[in-house]
Structure 1
């Protein structure tokens, strides 16, 4: 079973809960969109900072500056990121990367709901052609031959990241 499949199966409920929390925002409303971006501002910078210690993650473009620019365009400062210390071993970091980069896919779909007059750099920062496929391949390569303990830490990293986003959604 691929690492991606393991992660999808093990984190499905957490993923659905986060999607439901953020899906409740009407992104066509300036106020709801502002709250949505503020919630992401409490989670994404912390997750990207942790993830950046993984060498592969440093090959991917970060979105925190785009998020901050969108918030500034809406007249609000970026919030302080929530504390996030899931662990610093490679397995955990791959789990964090799975959630952060997977959120780009969802962001592309959500971007369609944002009116053109509102800033959309953050949600519009989609993967380049073939990039998601490369991420999946790198994740599977990192997990190849690893034991159940490594896999459990990878899943724990993903679950911790989903919990971070869930907490960020509740702060508002």
Structure 2
């Protein structure tokens, strides 16, 4: 999977630039979520709560731009069902820090679709007896490469301003997730 991603990026300087620009934000999110122990029920619940705060806000934002985006499958309902199954409430949504711009929405979608890749890995770390529908909602065959192909073509074919808006959408969406993780302080 990593080799396919790297091959797509070699074909697209825009995707390579996007990964470079967003690397620090991506690393900050990984660091913020690394403190959650998914094998422990309470910590996993805090992890899901943090994700819900950011993901549900991002999906609501993306729904306003559906006609400007490639097809995508929201996962918010799965996340809410997992929270309810664990007896946890749906948290307040993160404030939206994304520009009112379809290019920024494409950047946000990149983060959400990319998180499916991480979900596949994280689902195996989840303890027994807790729901994992959200983390198990992986890409269907071809979805990720198709999305990367679409995103790469957008980055290559558009103005500097539009490319910058996509990249800002990526960085700001990562920031929403990082803030959401920090909001779930454990005892």
Indicate conservation of the 8 Å contact 1:11/1:155, yes or no: yes
Any residues of structure 2 matched to 1:68-107 within 5 Å, and which?
68-107=80-119
8 Å contact from structure 1 (residues 63, 122) kept in 2: yes
- Aligned ranges 1:1-172 → 2 under 5 Å: 1-52=12-63, 53-55=65-67, 57=69, 59-172=71-184
Contiguous gaps of at least 5 residues in structure 2 = 1-11
Using the size of structure 1 for normalisation, the TM-score is: 0.94
Greater shift, 99-108 or 76-85, is seen at 76-85
**Which digits, 9 at most, give the CA deviation of each residue in 1:9-30, with x for residues without a partner?**
1010110110111121110000
**Which of 136-145 and 37-46 deviates more?**
136-145
Q: Could you tell me whether the CA contact under 8 Å between 1:54 and 1:93 is conserved in 2?
A: no
Distance in 1, Cα, partners of 2:128 & 2:119: 15
TM-score normalised over the length of structure 2 = 0.87
CA distance in 1, matches of 2:127, 2:140: 23
User: How many positions carry a matched residue from both structures?
Assistant: 172
CA RMSD, Structure 1 to Structure 2 (Å): 1.4
